[in-house]
Structure 1
Amino acid sequence: MRRVLVWHRADLRTADNAALAAAAADDAVHPVPAFVFDPRYYGPDSLACDARRQFVHESVRDLRRQYRDRGGDLALLHGDPRERLRTLLDEGAVDGIHVNRDVTARRGRERDQRLGEWDAVRFFADDGIVRPDERAPDGTVRVDTRDDWQDQCEAYFEADPHPRPDDLPSNPLDSDVTVEAVADRYDVDPAKRAVPEGGTVAANERLSWFRENVADYPAVVSPPAAAEDGTSRLSPYLAAGCLSVRQVYRAVQDGPDCRGKSMVESRLFWNRHYAQKLADWPGWTERSVNPVFRGFRREEHDPELVAAWREGRTGFPMVDAAMRALVETGFLNFRMRAMVASFFTYVLREWWKRGADFMYHHLIDADPAINYTQWQSQAGLVGVHPIRVYDPAKQVREYDPDGAFVREYVPELAPLPDEHLPRPAKAPLAVQAECGVEVGEDYPYPVVDFEARADRAREEMARLHDRATEAIDEVPRIRRRASLSRRGRGSDERDRETGGGQTRLDEF
């Protein structure tokens, strides 16, 4: 009987796991489940905060419990995954490797390209993503994946999930590390609060709750205070693979018919749409998708402004509350992510990647496909959509009118009346004195003139619009890497992505 290692990565579950299901269903195969703790995930170049590492550790513990409940076990290994797996094959500890294909970039993509050269490795790609083999030297697909994506993605969602094995044999591979030892070795000491517990058990509990409360989703998705508890909060479980996107889709299908249900379904398709973008061109995480914006504002750097943005002391309460929430909890709803990205790039005039990396580091649900494609979209780097400079004061008035979010994360402004929270610097001195809040002392004045900076950004982007459009129109490779939706350039895709409208599947 062939011993086949089932290598878990961003698929920390035993249900709807194509690689595991294939190994378990083959009578000639002895499944050998394993997880490898990669030192680079903890090193100085890693973009993972300790809270996300702990979430992964909890998910690995839960995955091991799932295997032990079925008679097997999960082997825990430590080291460079390629070296560890190569040694296991060369020494005859395993005869083959099953692994679910992931959509990633940077070192992960390099790693998988090398593994793909090994005859013993079999990749599984049941995730709704189209992966053509033909690619340009820069990694861009040579064919339009839009031609096949709609059917493939819909088929993925509608297909039955892969069954979880009922019984598994014992694991012949010994662990050489424990989760606790890894946490101690790399001094994993999370400082964030209100971080959800990792693992499939916690994921399914949250999914069950959300399915029963999905009708409330439209009212809570945009206000940041309501979103903290009222939205699905399933994104960390999807990022770590404690649940598959299909499992969430199928569960929501069993919920009540309502607008919330259709909105969630739409967002699950958008999840796959973003993944397709990164699969089409892995450069999303590193450089501007449209070459007209290559290096845009990279040298125009003000460290003090960046520090004010990161630490939530820009003098714009909604921006500051959002950034403090991100750093304190590792969560931020989509509208606030879009707002702080817009502020960073258009108003502070900073290079998009500095902000994108910072957000990716702090997010518990960090997904490279979503984070980096959205940062580029919000920064206008695709070059074919009208730019949107979020007004932080307007965001307070529309989405935090009672100041619940601002007061929680910017408590120094808590005594101010609601009407002055959008622009504290404009509060009359008498009001400040009465409330005991002195702007400039207790809370900073705005670090920049928002209106002047926003106008300048609009003018600058307008001057570059024609060149950016020409690049999209004249170079098919750039249109393919941008993976534009079927709607084309005639509407504002970002309004759809931020909840401004519902998307039909035939629009992708």
Structure 2
Amino acid sequence: MPYRIHWFKKNLRFQDNEILLKKDNSSSILLYIIEPELWLQKDMSQRQWDFIWESVESLKTDLAKHNLHLNILSGDAAEIFQSLHQKYSFTEVISEQETGIHWTFERDKKLKSLFNNLNVNWIEYPYFGVKRGNHNRDHWAGSIQQIFKKPLINIEKYIDQSEILDFDEHEKPVNFYDKTPCPFRQKGGSHQAHDLLDTFLECRGENYQSEMSSPITAEHSCSRLSPHFAHGTLSLRQAFQLAEKKRFEIQSTNKVFAKSINAFLSRLYWRSHFIQKLEDEPSIELKSFIPLYDDIRDQDEEKLQSWIKGETGIPFIDACMIYLRNHGWINFRMRAMLASFAAYNLWLDWRYYAPPLAALFTDFEPGIHYSQIQMQSGTTGINTIRMYNPYKQSEEQDPDAHFIINNIPSYKNVPKNLLHYPETVTPFEQQLLPSTWKSPIVNVSQSSKKAKDTIYGIRKMIDHKTLAKSVFLKHGSRKSH
């Protein structure tokens, strides 16, 4: 009897999972591979692994309830598949299409070559709405709506038994490029994901649209599902359909909540839109959309370390970074502000600061991260230049400085005006500040002006306009036709 391998990658769930569909009477081998080398990459971290491992254990438990066994092996994926083929002569591998970092892209190219040599058919089910190969961006929005509204997969169509492999026990990775402690990290697993979705649609999400921007209110009002979407513990389609159902139920009785659900649904489309950019052009992890921006910025290690450790002397910037380091998550506007500060005020090359920032996100999604980093750095050529003023954001999003003080407790007796505008501290006031006080490492207004002059100077070039048009045709967002 032929064998088929069902390889779990970033789809760590039982519900609505195409790779579990039964096709014929082939014997099924369910597989998850721990790849130690992956965790040595600059944008990967122990916090991400811890979340993934909890999710793998949760998946294994869910599968066992349906008489299915998840085999967990560790090592180089190509070597593992080679060994499995020698022993089981499998003829097919099924997995979800992965749009990952450069390392996983190269690994998958290597595997494709191996499977071709072994006459193994590798079937990759597309991630929600993300198309591989030639496609028309003009019709993309319409096609993803159809995918999201497609009925969820009935588990009665799943395989009903699987093989237990006779292989050595797996080993967890012990070496990580980033091991920054994350005491308040979210927990992994599908049950955690469904609990979050339930509470978001039941009550937490009512003021999502108005409260998502402040780090104070966003912690409660945002769905907090991003790490679960990133690692596939919850189906994007399932979340979409449950949210649509909730919106239909309340649209005439609670318009505020209905608008918040609309905002949430738009961000589900947004996820796939940005992942599609990386799928279409994998090089955007390593090169600017517009090459004219590739060599204009610095690689200053001292500035990078001050920023990534929350020691820039801009209290709101530092509080946001400290919160991110401790939680593995922060809301979108604050992510954009942190990136903008690194790109414009510190004038750091986005390729230099993007990986260590990615490592701090439990919900790191390469397609979203690198597209957004380039947007916030002004290197896409087609997006509005957004330079977030950290002082303005501090006053608007944290007017009473509660967020700053919660994350930097030693600042609790510092006057609010100095927390919001540290550049105004006088020599006399400096003597009264706590010993932990840090003076700003950069002048915000001066650095912003210099960055703006440089970026807009490049945008005026004739070559830039030609290149920007090409970027829009390939990656630009358009409405359904």
TM-score normalised to structure 1 length: 0.86
Label 1:31 to 1:46 Cα distance change in 2 as closer, same or farther (>3 A).
farther
Equivalent residue runs for 1:169-248 within 5 Å: 169-174=161-166, 176-178=168-170, 181-182=171-172, 191-213=181-203, 214-248=205-239
**Residue 389 (structure 1) shift:** 1.2
Q: Mind listing any 5+ residue stretches in structure 2 that lack a counterpart?
A: 252-257
Identity percentage of aligned residues: 27
Distance in structure 2 (CA, Å) of the matches to 1:476 and 1:454: 26
Q: Could you tell me which of 135, 154, 157 is aligned with 1:163?
A: 154
State the alpha-carbon separation in 2 of the partners of residues 475 and 327 from structure 1: 35
Kindly provide the amino acid, as one letter, of the partner of residue 34 in structure 2. Answer: F
Cα distance in 1 between the residues matched to 2:402 and 2:70: 44
**1:101 corresponding residue in structure 2:** 97
Q: Is the contact made by 1:407 and 1:413 (CA closer than 8 Å) also made in structure 2? A: yes
Give the corresponding residue for 1:319: 317
Which AA in structure 2 matches 1:40? E
User: Quick check: 2:45–2:359 contact (8 Å CA) kept in 1?
Assistant: yes
Q: Deviations over 1:416-458 (max 9, x none)?
A: 233432113425677777xx524xx431111111111111111
**8 A Cα contact 1:317 1:392, kept in partner:** no
Correspondent of 1:61 among 16, 41, 57: 57
Pairing 1:445–2:439 present: yes
> What is the identity, as a one-letter code, of the residue corresponding to 2:284?
W
Deviation at 1:329, TM superposition (A): 1.7
Distance 2:30 2:424 in 1: 61
Asked if structure 2 preserves the Cα contact closer than 8 Å seen for 1:59 and 1:200, the reply is yes
C-alpha distance in structure 1 between counterparts of 2:346 and 2:469, whole Å:
32
AA aligned opposite 1:159: K
One of 73, 78, 90 as aligned partner of 2:86: 90
Distance 1:233 1:451, change over 3 A: same
User: Which deviates further from its counterpart, 329-338 or 250-259?
Assistant: 250-259
The answer on whether the counterparts of 2:30 and 2:162 sit within 8 Å (CA) in structure 1 is no
User: What residue number does 2:255 align with?
Assistant: none
Deviates more, 1:168-177 or 1:78-87: 168-177
Deviations 1:17-47 (A, max 9, x none): 11212xx2x242222111010111233x352
Match of 1:498 in 2: none
SS of corresponding position for 1:91: helix
Q: CA RMSD in A?
A: 2.4
- Other-structure match for 1:34: 31
Does the 8 Å CA contact 1:40/1:46 hold for their aligned counterparts?
no
Q: CA deviation at 1:476?
A: 6.6
Residue matched to 1:266: 266
Q: Distance in 2 between matches of 1:431 and 1:317?
A: 16
Q: Partners of 2:110 and 2:465 in 1: how far apart? A: 32
Aligned amino acid, residue 466 of structure 2: D
Of the structure 1 ranges 113-122 and 471-480, higher mean CA displacement relative to structure 2 is found in 471-480
CA distance in 2, matches of 1:31, 1:197: 29
Counterpart mapping for 1:44-443 below 5 A: 45-117=41-113, 118=116, 119-120=119-120, 121-125=122-126, 127-133=128-134, 145-165=136-156, 168-174=160-166, 176-178=168-170, 181-182=171-172, 191-213=181-203, 214-255=205-246, 256-257=250-251, 258-297=258-297, 300-427=298-425, 437-438=433-434, 441-443=435-437
Return the TM-score normalized by structure 2.
Answer: 0.90
Partners of 2:101 and 2:285 within 8 A in 1: yes
AA aligned opposite 1:131: R
The total of aligned residue pairs comes to 465
Separation in 2, partners of 1:14, 1:90: 29
User: Aligned AA for 1:35?
Assistant: Y
Name the CA distance, whole Å, in 2 between partners of 1:383 and 1:93: 50
